[in-house]
C-alpha cells in the first residue's frame, strides 16, 4: 500500500516538471537499445548452448570452447597411469626408485565398487534434479546470477555436472564468464556421457580434505573401509565434506559436518532413497574415525596424504620431499591447482629423475632411523623422544640427502622437520646470515673492527642482550668479528645490528638468502641478532643459504630432481641450475674464513666438530629457551644443516644429550659421507686478501704496532693503516699462514 502511494506521488511530481517528458523519452530509447542488445546477446548465448535450433546447425562435434579436455574416458585413463621415480645408484646407473600408484593401488573406483548409498547421498545433498536436468539447473543458475548482480556472492546453483567441470578444470573464480563457460561445458558433457559416467567421475575427483581425492581414498582414510562397505551415514559424512573440505572435515570440525550429513540423510529419506528404518538407523550410528591419529599429525598441510606405494616399506624422506617439490613446481610453472598437480604426480604416468645421492641418503637413513649419536630414551614413547632433521646439499643446489625426523619412518609424506613442515628457531645460527654477512657486504665493518662485548641500551634503560649463560660482558672488552662469532657472543651482533639497521639485515635474509619462513615481525632486534624468530627456519632453507659461503657467493634454489617427463616422454620440468649472485666473491671469501673460527678457535662453539680431514666452516645455534639446537656448515664438498629439538617444544636436557647434540650428529654423518672422498680445499677468489692488523686499533698493522694478528679482507674495502701505535704509517705485509688468529 505505502509503495503504491509513494510511486503515485512521484508521478505527479514528474508531470509538473517540464523536462520530465524529455528525460522519459531518452530513458525509453536507452531502454529499447538495451533490450535489442540483450536480445541479440541472448540469441547468441542460446545458439551457443544449442538450446535453439536455427535450422543450419547440423549435429556437429562439441567443439564449443574448451571441451577438449572434458573427455571423461581419456581423463580416467590418464588418471590411472603410474608415475615412476628413478634415481642413479652408486654405480651411476639409472634405477627405479619408487612407483607411485601401481595398478593395484589405483584409488579410482567404479560405481559398482562403491556403496549404493554414496551416489544417493551425493544426489540428495548436492543436486536433487540430477537425473532429470541436462547438466544445468536453470532455476538455481538464474538465482545465483541474480544474487551476483545484486552484489551478493555468486554461489550455489551448481549441478553435479558443473561441479565435475570445476574439479577437472580447476576453475574456481566466480565470474559470469566462468559460469557461462561452465554451463557450455556441462551441456556438452551431458551430450556425450551418461549420468552414471558423470556421477562416477565426480565421485572419483571430489576433494575430501587430508589429501583425499575421491570416495575410495576418503573411505579408507576416514573409516578404514572399502568404499563398497560404507553405511548410509558414512556416505553422508563423506559427501558432506566436499563443499568446504577443511571446514566440513568430520574429524576436525565434526559439528559442521554433522549438520550437513544430517540434512543429507534427511533428504535421502524425503526422496525415498532410504526407508524410515534406514533413516533412524543412520541417525543413531556411532561413527568411528580411524584417520584421527594421522589427521592430528598432519594438520599443518591440507594436501597431506599417506598413499601406499607398491613396496611395503615407506618411501624415503627424500622421495617425500621430491613429490612436494614436483607438485609445487608444476603449480608454479603451469598454474595448476595443487589438487591438479597432485593428481598429475600420482596418476599422470610421469617419469621423474630424482637427484638423490643414494649413498648419502643411505647413511642419513641409517643414522636417523637408529637414532645414532642420541642418548637412549627407550623408556619413552616414540613420539616423546627427541627429534632431529638434516639436509645435505652440494654447492650448486642439488639436495644430496634429507632426514626428516629421528626414528622409524611412520608413513609416506609425513611431517618433515627438514623441509619446512615445522620451522624452528635458529638461535645463533642465523647470525652469519642476518648480521655478519650484511656487515661485510655493506662495508659496515671489517674482520678486525673492534666492538664492545656489551649489549645495547633499550628504551627502558635495560642493557640487551646477555651472552649465553647470562653474562653481560663489559663495555671495555673489545672483540673483532671472528672473536665474537666463534664463542657466539650475543652482545656484539646486537651492536652491529644497531649500526647497520634492521631493515637492511631483514631484506638480506629474505631476498639474498631466501629464507622462506620470515614474517614482518622478524624485522626486529631479537629475531635478527639472536635468532628469536616468529616462525623459525628449516634445515633446507639454512643449508641453501650457507651454501653461498662455499661457492663464492651464489644462491642456488635447492632441487631434488633432474627432470620430470610426462606420459608422452616430453620434458615438463627441469630445475633452474643457475646460481644467482647474492653477495660478492670477496664477501663470500671473508665469511668462509670467519666461519672457520667457531671450529678452529679454542673457545669456538663448534670446536671439535669439524669434519675429519676437511676444512670446515660452521656455526652452532641454540634458541633462547633451549628448545632448539642447530649446526650449519660445510666442507669443500658439501653443506649440511642439522636441527635437534622436541616435537612439542620443550627444553633439551643438556646432561643427557650434551651441549651440542646437533653438532654431534652433524659431525657423525658428515664424517661418514666424507670417508672415501679425495682431499679438496675451498677455492678463494682474488677479491679477498689476508692482511696483518693491529690488535690495538683494529686497523692494518704498521711496523710500529707491537701486537698484530691476521684477518681476511675484501680487496676493495681495506681498513686504513694504524695511526695509534707510532708515527710511521707504512703497512707491513704478513702473509704467514702460521700466524695465529
Least Å distance between CB 474 and Zn ion? 22
- Written in H, E and C, the secondary structure of 312-326 is CCCCCHHHHHHHHHH
CA distance 399 to 392: 6
Q: How far is the CB of 731 from Zn ion (least distance, A)?
A: 10
Distance (Å, whole) CA 58 – CA 50: 11
Among 82, 575, 725, 731, binds Zn ion (CB under 5 A): 725
State in angstroms the smallest separation of the CB of 449 from Zn ion. 14
- The DSSP 8-state label assigned to residue 395 in this structure reads T
Q: Quick one: 155 or 707, whose CB is closer to Zn ion? A: 707
Among 199, 583, 641, 722, binds Zn ion (CB under 5 A): 722
Contact 643, 622 (CB under 8 A): no
Binding Zn ion (rule: CB under 5 A), the pick from 163, 607, 697, 710 is 697
Region binding Zn ion by CB under 5 A among candidate stretches 286-294, 606-614, 684-692, 720-728 = 720-728
Among positions 552-591, residues that touch Zn ion (CB under 5 A) are none
Identify whether the C-beta of residue 687 lies closer than 8 Å to the C-beta of residue 587: no
- Exactly one of 694, 711, 719, 731 binds Zn ion (CB under 5 A); which one? 694
Binding mask 640-679 for Zn ion (x = CB under 5 A): ----------------------------------------
- Phi then psi for 457, rounded to 5 degrees? -90, 120
Q: Does the footprint of Zn ion cover residue 486 (CB under 5 A)?
A: no
Site string for Zn ion, 124-153 (x = CB under 5 A): ------------------------------
Question: Which grid cell sits at 362?
Answer: 643411505
Q: How far is the CB of 723 from Zn ion (least distance, A)?
A: 8
Cα distance between residue 195 and residue 218, in whole Å:
22
Nearest-CB residue to Zn ion? 694
| Touching Zn ion, residues 62-101 (CB under 5 A) | none
Q: Report d(CA 272, CA 267) in Å as an integer.
A: 8
Q: For Zn ion, which is the closer residue by CB, 294 or 694?
A: 694
Q: How far is the CB of 721 from Zn ion (least distance, A)?
A: 9
Rg (CA), the chain: 33
Q: Which three cell numbers stand for residue 20?
A: 520530465
Nearer to Zn ion, 103 or 727 (CB): 727
Measured from the CB of residue 439, what is the shortest distance to Zn ion in angstroms?
A: 22
By the rule CB under 5 A, 463 interacts with Zn ion: no
User: CB-wise, 283 or 696, nearer to Zn ion?
Assistant: 696
- Residue among 636, 399, 382 nearest 539 (CA): 399
Stretch that binds Zn ion, among 150-158, 275-283, 621-629, 724-732 (CB under 5 A): 724-732
Nearest to 308 by CA among 221, 431, 369: 221
Q: How far is the CB of 717 from Zn ion (least distance, A)?
A: 19
Q: Are strands 473-479 and 580-581 parallel, antiparallel or unpaired?
A: unpaired
C-alpha span between 388 and 317 (Å, rounded) = 13
| Closest to Zn ion by CB, 67 or 722 | 722
All cell numbers assigned to 111: 560405481
Cβ 496 to Zn ion shortest distance, Å: 22
**Per-position x/- string for 587-626, each x denoting binding to Zn ion as judged by CB under 5 A, each - no binding:** ----------------------------------------
Q: How far is the CB of 476 from Zn ion (least distance, A)?
A: 18
At residue 712, the 3 state secondary structure works out as strand
H or E segment at 12? helix 2-16
Q: Is 696 in the site for Zn ion (CB under 5 A)?
A: yes
Q: Helix %, strand %, coil % for the chain, to 5?
A: 40, 15, 45
Looking at the Cβ atoms of 424 and 450, the one nearer to Zn ion is 450
| Residue whose CB is less far from Zn ion, 673 or 722 | 722
Question: CB within 8 A of 504, min separation 6: which ones?
Answer: 438, 442
The 3-class SS string of 596-664 reads CHHHHCCCCCCCCCCCCCCCCEEEEEECCCCCEEEEEEECCCCEEEEEEECCCCCCCCHHHHCCCHHHH
At its nearest, how many Å lie between Zn ion and the CB of residue 708?
8
- Kindly tell me which of 505 and 705 has the beta carbon lying closer to Zn ion: 705
C-alpha distances (whole Å) from 458 to each of 20, 287, 366, 509 are 73, 57, 48, 24
Shortest distance (Å) from residue 602 CB to Zn ion: 25
As a whole number of angstroms, the distance between CA 394 and CA 575 comes to 15
Rank residues 596 and 697 by Cβ distance to Zn ion and give the closer one: 697
Whose Cβ is closer to Zn ion: residue 434's or residue 697's?
697
CB-wise, 305 or 694, nearer to Zn ion?
694
Q: Which stretch binds Zn ion (CB under 5 A): 11-19, 316-324, 633-641, 691-699?
A: 691-699
Q: Is 738 helix (H, G, I), strand (E, B) or coil?
A: coil
Closest distance to Zn ion from the beta carbon of 728 (Å): 10
The Cα 35–Cα 707 span in angstroms is 95
Q: Binders of Zn ion: how many residues, by CB under 5 A?
A: 6
Three cell numbers written together for 638: 658439501
- The DSSP string of 223-286 is HSS-GGG--HHHHHHHHTTTTSTTTT-TTTSHHHHHHHHHHHHHHHHHTTSS-HHHHHHHHHPP
Please say which residue, 369 or 723, places its beta carbon nearer to Zn ion: 723
If the CB atoms of residues 483 and 502 are measured against Zn ion, the closer one turns out to be 483
Q: Closest approach of Cβ 697 to Zn ion, in Å?
A: 5
What's the burial of 517, exposed, middle or buried (CB within 10 Å: 0-12/13-18/19+)? middle
Q: CB neighbours of 36 closer than 8 A, spacing ≥ 6?
A: none
Query: Nearest approach, Cβ of 696 to Zn ion (angstroms)?
Result: 5
The backbone region for 193, taken as left when phi is positive above 0, alpha when psi lies in -120 to 50, beta otherwise, is beta
Closest distance to Zn ion from the beta carbon of 448 (Å): 11
Which span (311-319, 461-469, 675-683, 690-698) binds Zn ion, by CB under 5 A? 690-698
CA distances 11 to 2, 7, 177, 658, 735, Å, are 15, 6, 39, 91, 101
Contact range with Zn ion by CB under 5 A, out of 276-284, 633-641, 697-705, 711-719: 697-705
Stretch that binds Zn ion, among 56-64, 195-203, 328-336, 689-697 (CB under 5 A): 689-697
Q: Least distance from C-beta 378 to Zn ion, angstroms?
A: 59
Residue partners of 364: CB distance under 8 A and separation at least 6: 317, 390, 392, 401, 402, 403, 669
Nearest to Zn ion of 109, 705 (CB atom): 705
Q: Which is nearer to Zn ion, 496 or 699 (CB)?
A: 699
Residue closer to Zn ion (CB basis): 595 or 722: 722
Please choose, from the candidates 424, 435, 509, 433, the residue with its C-alpha nearest in 3D space to the C-alpha of residue 465: 435
Q: How far is the CB of 738 from Zn ion (least distance, A)?
A: 21
**Residue 725: CB minimum distance to Zn ion, A:** 3
Nearer to Zn ion, 622 or 692 (CB): 692
Q: Which three cell numbers stand for residue 682?
A: 675451498
Region from 280-288, 389-397, 605-613, 687-695 binding Zn ion, contact rule CB under 5 A? 687-695
Nearer to Zn ion, 515 or 705 (CB): 705
Q: Which of 648, 641, 703, 690 is nearest to 670 (CA)?
A: 641
Mark 700-719 with x for binding to Zn ion (rule: CB under 5 A) and - for no binding.
-----x--------------
Region of 175-183, 288-296, 541-549, 695-703 interacting with Zn ion (CB under 5 A): 695-703
CA distance 491 to 1: 80
Binding site for Zn ion (CB under 5 A): 694, 696-697, 705, 722, 725
Amino acid at each position: 500500500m505505502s509503495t503504491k502511494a509513494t510511486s503515485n506521488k512521484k508521478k505527479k511530481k514528474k508531470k509538473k516538471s517540464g523536462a520530465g517528458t524529455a528525460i522519459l523519452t531518452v530513458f525509453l530509447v536507452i531502454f529499447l537499445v538495451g533490450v535489442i542488445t540483450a536480445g541479440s546477446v541472448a540469441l547468441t548465448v542460446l545458439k551457443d548452448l544449442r538450446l535453439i535450433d536455427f535450422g543450419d546447425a547440423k549435429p556437429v562435434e562439441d567443439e564449443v570452447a574448451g571441451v577438449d579436455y572434458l573427455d571423461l574416458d581419456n581423463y580416467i585413463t590418464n588418471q590411472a597411469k603410474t608415475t615412476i621415480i628413478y634415481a642413479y645408484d652408486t654405480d651411476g646407473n639409472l634405477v627405479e626408485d619408487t612407483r607411485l600408484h601401481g595398478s593395484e593401488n589405483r584409488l579410482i573406483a567404479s560405481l559398482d565398487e562403491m556403496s549404493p548409498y554414496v551416489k544417493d547421498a551425493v544426489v540428495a545433498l548436492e543436486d536433487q534434479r540430477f537425473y532429470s536436468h541436462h547438466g544445468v539447473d536453470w532455476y538455481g543458475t538464474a538465482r545465483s546470477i541474480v544474487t551476483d548482480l545484486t552484489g551478493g556472492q555468486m554461489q550455489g546453483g551448481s549441478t553435479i555436472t558443473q561441479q565435475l567441470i570445476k574439479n577437472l578444470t580447476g576453475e574456481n573464480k566466480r565470474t559470469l564468464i566462468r559460469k557461462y563457460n561452465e554451463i557450455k561445458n556441462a551441456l556438452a558433457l551431458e551430450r556425450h556421457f551418461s549420468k552414471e559416467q558423470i556421477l562416477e567421475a565426480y565421485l572419483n575427483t571430489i576433494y575430501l580434505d587430508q589429501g583425499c581425492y575421491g570416495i575410495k581414498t576418503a573411505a579408507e582414510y576416514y573409516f578404514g573401509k572399502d568404499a563398497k562397505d560404507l553405511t548410509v551415514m558414512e556416505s553422508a559424512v563423506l559427501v558432506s565434506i566436499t563443499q568446504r573440505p577443511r571446514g566440513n572435515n568430520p574429524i576436525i570440525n565434526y559439528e559442521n559436518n554433522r549438520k550437513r550429513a544430517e540434512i543429507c540423510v534427511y533428504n535421502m529419506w524425503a526422496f525415498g532413497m532410504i526407508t524410515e528404518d534406514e533413516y533412524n538407523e543412520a541417525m543413531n550410528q556411532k561413527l568411528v574415525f580411524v584417520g584421527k591419529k594421522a589427521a592430528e599429525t598432519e594438520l599443518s598441510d591440507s594436501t597431506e596424504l599417506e598413499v601406499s606405494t607398491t613396496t611395503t616399506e615407506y618411501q624415503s624422506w627424500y622421495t617425500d620431499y621430491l613429490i612436494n617439490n614436483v607438485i609445487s613446481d608444476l603449480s608454479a610453472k603451469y598454474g595448476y591447482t595443487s589438487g591438479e598437480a597432485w593428481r598429475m604426480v600420482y596418476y599422470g604416468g610421469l617419469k621423474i629423475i630424482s637427484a638423490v645421492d643414494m649413498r648419502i641418503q643411505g647413511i642419513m637413513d641409517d643414522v636417523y632411523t637408529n637414532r645414532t649419536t642420541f642418548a637412549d630414551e627407550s623408556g619413552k614413547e616414540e613420539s616423546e623422544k627427541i627429534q632431529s632433521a638434516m639436509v645435505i646439499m652440494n654447492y650448486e643446489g642439488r639436495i644430496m640427502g634429507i632426514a626428516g625426523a629421528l626414528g622409524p619412518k611412520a608413513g609416506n609424506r609425513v611431517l618433515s622437520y627438514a623441509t619446512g613442515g615445522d620451522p624452528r628457531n635458529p638461535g645463533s645460527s642465523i647470525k652469519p646470515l642476518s648480521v655478519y654477512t650484511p656487515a661485510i657486504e655493506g662495508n659496515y665493518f671489517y674482520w678486525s673492527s673492534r666492538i664492545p662485548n656489551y649489549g645495547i641500551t633499550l628504551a627502558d634503560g635495560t642493557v640487551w642482550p646477555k651472552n649465553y649463560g647470562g653474562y653481560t660482558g663489559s663495555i671495555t672488552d673489545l672483540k673483532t668479528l671472528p672473536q665474537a662469532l666463534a664463542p657466539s657472543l650475543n652482545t656484539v651482533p646486537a651492536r652491529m645490528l644497531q649500526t647497520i639497521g634492521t631493515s637492511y639485515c631483514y631484506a638480506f635474509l629474505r631476498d639474498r638468502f631466501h629464507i622462506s619462513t620470515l614474517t614482518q615481525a622478524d624485522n626486529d632486534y631479537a629475531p635478527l641478532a639472536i635468532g628469536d624468530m616468529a616462525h623459525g627456519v628449516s634445515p633446507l632453507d639454512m643449508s641453501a643459504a650457507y651454501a653461498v659461503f662455499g661457492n663464492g657467493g651464489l644462491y642456488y634454489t635447492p632441487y631434488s630432481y633432474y627432470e620430470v617427463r610426462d606420459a608422452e616422454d616430453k620434458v615438463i620440468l627441469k630445475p633452474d641450475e643457475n646460481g644467482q649472485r647474492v653477495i660478492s666473491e670477496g664477501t663470500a671469501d671473508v665469511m668462509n674464513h670467519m666461519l672457520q673460527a667457531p671450529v678452529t678457535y679454542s673457545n669456538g662453539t663448534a670446536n671439535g666438530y669439524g669434519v675429519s680431514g676437511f676444512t670446515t666452516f660452521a656455526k652452532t645455534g641454540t634458541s633462547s629457551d633451549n628448545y632448539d639446537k642447530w649446526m650449519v656448515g660445510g666442507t669443500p664438498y658439501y653443506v649440511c644443516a642439522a636441527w635437534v629439538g622436541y616435537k612439542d617444544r620443550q627444553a633439551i636436557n643438556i646432561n643427557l644429550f650434551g651441549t651440542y647434540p646437533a653438532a654431534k650428529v652433524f659431525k657423525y654423518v658428515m664424517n661418514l659421507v666424507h670417508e672415501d672422498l679425495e682431499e679438496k680445499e675451498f677455492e678463494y677468489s682474488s677479491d679477498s686478501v689476508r692482511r696483518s692488523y693491529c690488535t690495538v686499533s683494529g686497523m692494518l698493522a704498521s711496523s710500529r704496532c707491537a701486537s698484530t694478528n691476521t684477518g681476511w679482507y675484501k680487496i676493495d674495502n681495506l681498513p686504513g693503516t694504524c695511526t695509534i701505535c707510532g708515527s710511521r704509517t707504512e703497512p707491513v705485509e704478513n702473509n704467514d699462514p702460521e700466524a695465529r688468529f
